[in-house]
């Protein structure tokens, strides 16, 4: 063991050996008068705490031997084992990373689980790790209802709030959910994380929701050890910040004392379960062994402070309680402690030899990928939602995906659209109709976001939906993108297919980590057992004639295109928008896919293409009904030039193509439609058909979509001529100045002329 672990182990053994034995009372008697904790409970908690301590020791030893890869320990936080006693196994838990004792104690209550082996398999990144499959060390278990988290900055809190909301909403709507209708969501964090904007926003969202009379059964737990890596937390800060907030019940306890912790945890759990309102449990803990294996506390902490923490060691406090109450003798405690240590060490040696993930394919196998056949079947389904239509949370691990079927043609099929056979419509109208169709057919669909309810959205896209389907399924949220996406993350865990709306693309960047760090990674860190099916609608791009400036005219999507497994849809006209939205919703339901649905604001209500009154940009919302992920759309069959574009660039390119045709240049326009996965096969086929390509990219030249298109052509060995024309590397200014930085038809035609020359 390291010097720190040796000293901690020595202190514990010496202190226990120096205790005086007492007469043994019945195991059913309270360990102290007035407590609900019996001697048997105390012994069980000690075993979980001691196991957690030895797991920390083993992780340090494995790391020193270069056999382990994770050393953030739980020493000093072992009091959280009590939370596993106060809550039910069926209560979902989203845990702080110092929660080994909780994990061990809850796992002990579930037949067939071996928490020692499970934790150590994660430490050594073994492929047999039952929760992440060797991808990351996390505390998670389907059987124990522990949803794995890797957050160090409380980014899992919005998801926890969303889950608490969705558990009761699912019961209200009669939707089958993995969680009991009276469940309490446990969400723990550290004192440093409690200061993060994500935590502040999540707590605010919980209180705000409960203030409106909406059930919010969540128990926030702050394990306050007084320090975040090396930055101290003022001793009274957590209580001052959370202890007197209206609408948030506050409970406090000495987290190093299991009797005190149990009393507070029991009271808090009962309060939340009965009232369905949020509560905050503040546990005062200590941090032993530093932040992680590489951390040397003596470099930034005073020896007196380190010693003071050692004197509050929760494992020693529990051992002293057991001895002084007569439940166990010092020898009993030490024998059990030693036996556990020996067993943990033996298991550590065994798991260190377990195979690791050995290929990129194995690592990425659990990143959600859509299966065209089942998705198509769900899109075309006319009946109600089958019981097995969606990926159930807590299923078997994903071991791979079937190969994609051959590309399908865009053939019109039977539609359920209530306006089928009626007049063609705009992009916005098609999305409205399609959302209504989905809400009508499938009871698992929720639509929500800022202004989507009463107002019907800033641009009227959700107008009338709340009146038709009620505020339980179409509702407004508070103005906080983290909370909007957190609601979706939690709703997905509860059995819904959420369709949240982010009002503008620029606003998404306020909460991008809820997509990257939470939605996209859950399947990865749970070996496919948990998923976040969702379709995030985002009003985006520019070309609003200078209205609103850069917050309402944002063309920055580079940060979205590189998130593994996330689908980026970008329709530009009514028929594609309707079909692609259906596809995204079915891909979410069937395969747990996370989709970002980018809707060009400037094309929402566009009717004409070439001349005023030509209605050239209208289309039927049911023709086709389905567009396969990663399939492009082509206009024309010219063999002289291919214009490759998307979103606003498509009508710009079509107008340029018509002028070129009058000059005798045969042009085809390829609408990518999907920016991730990029329709590479279609791109290459149409590029080769003409031998010349101009990429028309309304996003920025640096980090824009055109870079990936160019790379795809190079990778495919395209030998023809190509160039790209883009908007400038600039934010979009207010007013007419916007025209100076945005791509236009003049620049597109100039780029074509240069290439043809």
Q: Active-site residues: which are they? A: 552
Reported in sequence order, the residue ranges of 363-471 that DSSP labels E, i.e. its strands, are 445-449
What would the 3-class secondary structure string for 651-694 be? HHHHHHHHHHHHCCCCEEEEECCEEECCCHHHHHHHHHHHCEEE
What would the 3-class secondary structure string for 609-631 be? CCCCCCCCCCECCCCCCCCCCCC
Q: How does 601-622 read in b/e, with b if 16+ C-beta sit within 10 Å?
A: bbbbebeebeeeeeebbbbbbb
For residue 221, the cross-strand partners are 188, 281
Return d(Cα 265, Cα 249) in angstroms, integer: 12
Cβ proximity of 91 and 186 under 8 Å: yes
- DSSP letters, 567-600, are EEE---SHHHHHHHHHHHHHHHHHH--EEEEEEE
Strand pairing category for 185-190 and 218-224: parallel
Strand pairing category for 594-600 and 667-671: unpaired
Contacts of 26 (CB under 8 A, 6+ apart): 39
For residue 642, the cross-strand partners are 668, 693
Return d(Cα 591, Cα 635) in angstroms, integer: 31
* Number of H-type helices and E-type strands within the chain: 26, 19
- Of 515, 530, 522, the residue nearest 567 (C-alpha): 515
Return d(Cα 52, Cα 351) in angstroms, integer: 17
Other CB atoms within 10 Å distance of the CB of residue 12: 20
Answer positive or negative: Cα dihedral of 384, 387, 392, 395. negative
Residues in the chain: 757
* Region of residue 46 (left: phi > 0; alpha: psi -120 to 50; beta: else): alpha
Return d(Cα 205, Cα 490) in angstroms, integer: 13
Answer positive or negative: Cα dihedral of 255, 257, 261, 262. positive
């Amino acid at each position: 063991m390291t010097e720190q672990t040796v000293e901690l182990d020595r202190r514990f053994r010496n202190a226990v050996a120096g205790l005086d034995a007492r007469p043994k009372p019945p195991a059913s008697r309270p360990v102290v008068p007035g407590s609900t904790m019996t001697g048997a409970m105390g012994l069980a908690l000690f075993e979980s705490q001691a196991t957690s301590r030895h797991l920390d020791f083993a992780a340090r030893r494995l790391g020193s031997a270069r056999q382990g890869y994770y050393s953030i320990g739980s020493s000093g936080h072992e009091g959280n084992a009590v939370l596993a006693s106060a809550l039910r196994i069926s209560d979902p838990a989203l845990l702080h990373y110092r929660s080994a004792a909780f994990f061990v104690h809850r796992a002990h209550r579930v037949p067939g689980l071996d928490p020692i082996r499970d934790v150590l398999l994660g430490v050594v990144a073994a492929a047999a790790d039952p929760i992440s499959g060797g991808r990351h060390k996390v505390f998670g278990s389907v059987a124990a209802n522990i949803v794995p988290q890797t957050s160090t900055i409380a980014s899992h809190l919005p998801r926890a709030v969303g889950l608490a909301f969705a558990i009761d909403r699912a019961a209200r709507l009669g939707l089958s959910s993995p969680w009991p209708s009276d469940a309490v969501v446990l969400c723990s964090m550290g004192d440093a994380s409690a200061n993060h904007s994500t935590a502040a926003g999540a707590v605010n969202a919980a209180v705000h929701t409960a203030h409106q009379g909406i059930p919010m059964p969540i128990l926030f737990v702050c394990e306050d050890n007084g320090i975040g890596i090396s930055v101290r937390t003022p001793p009274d800060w957590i209580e001052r910040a959370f202890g007197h907030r209206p609408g948030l019940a506050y409970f406090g306890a000495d987290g190093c004392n299991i009797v005190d912790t149990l009393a507070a945890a029991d009271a808090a759990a009962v309060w939340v379960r009965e009232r369905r309102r949020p509560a905050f449990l503040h546990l005062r803990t200590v941090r032993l062994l530093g932040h992680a294996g590489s951390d040397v506390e003596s470099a930034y902490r005073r020896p007196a402070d380190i010693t003071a923490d050692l004197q509050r060691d929760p494992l020693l406090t529990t051992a002293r309680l057991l001895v002084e109450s007569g439940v166990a003798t010092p020898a009993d405690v030490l024998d059990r402690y030693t036996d556990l240590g020996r067993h943990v060490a033996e298991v550590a040696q065994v798991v260190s030899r377990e195979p690791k993930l050995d290929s990129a394919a194995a690592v990425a196998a659990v990143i959600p990928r859509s299966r065209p056949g089942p998705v198509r079947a769900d899109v075309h389904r006319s009946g109600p939602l089958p019981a097995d239509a969606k990926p159930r949370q807590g299923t078997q691990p994903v071991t791979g995906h079937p190969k994609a079927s051959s590309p399908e043609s865009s053939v019109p099929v039977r539609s359920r659209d209530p306006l089928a056979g009626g007049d063609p419509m705009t992009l916005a109208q098609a999305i409205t109709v399609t959302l209504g169709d989905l809400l009508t057919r499938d009871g698992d669909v929720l639509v929500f976001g800022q202004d989507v309810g009463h107002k019907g959205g800033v641009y009227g896209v959700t107008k009338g939906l709340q009146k038709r389907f009620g505020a339980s399924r179409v509702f407004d949220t508070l103005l906080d993108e983290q909370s909007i996406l957190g609601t979706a993350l939690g709703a997905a865990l509860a059995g819904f297919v959420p369709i949240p709306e982010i009002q503008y693309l620029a606003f998404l960047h306020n909460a991008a980590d809820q997509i990257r760090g939470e939605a996209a990674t859950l399947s990865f860190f749970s070996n496919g057992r948990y998923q976040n099916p969702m379709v995030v609608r985002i009003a985006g791009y520019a070309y609003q004639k200078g209205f609103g400036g850069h917050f309402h005219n944002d063309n920055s999507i580079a940060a979205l295109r590189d998130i593994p497994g996330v689908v980026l849809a970008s329709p530009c006209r009514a028929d594609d928008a309707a079909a692609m939205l259906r596809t995204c919703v079915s891909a979410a339901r069937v395969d747990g896919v996370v989709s970002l649905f980018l809707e060009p604001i400037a094309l929402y209500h566009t009717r004409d293409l070439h001349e005023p009154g030509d209605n050239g940009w209208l289309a039927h919302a049911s023709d086709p009904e389905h567009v396969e992920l990663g399939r492009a759309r082509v206009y024309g069959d010219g063999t002289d030039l291919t214009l490759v574009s998307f979103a606003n660039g498509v009508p710009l390119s079509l107008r340029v193509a018509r002028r070129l045709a009058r000059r005798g240049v045969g042009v085809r326009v390829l609408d990518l439609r999907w920016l991730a996965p990029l329709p590479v096969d279609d791109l290459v086929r149409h590029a080769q058909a003409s031998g010349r390509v101009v990429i028309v990219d309304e996003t920025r030249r640096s980090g824009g979509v055109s870079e990936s298109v160019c790379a795809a052509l190079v990778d495919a060995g395209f030998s023809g001529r190509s160039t790209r024309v883009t908007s400038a590397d600039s934010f979009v200014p207010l007013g007419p100045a916007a025209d100076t930085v945005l791509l236009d038809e003049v620049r597109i035609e100039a780029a074509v002329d240069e290439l043809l020359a």
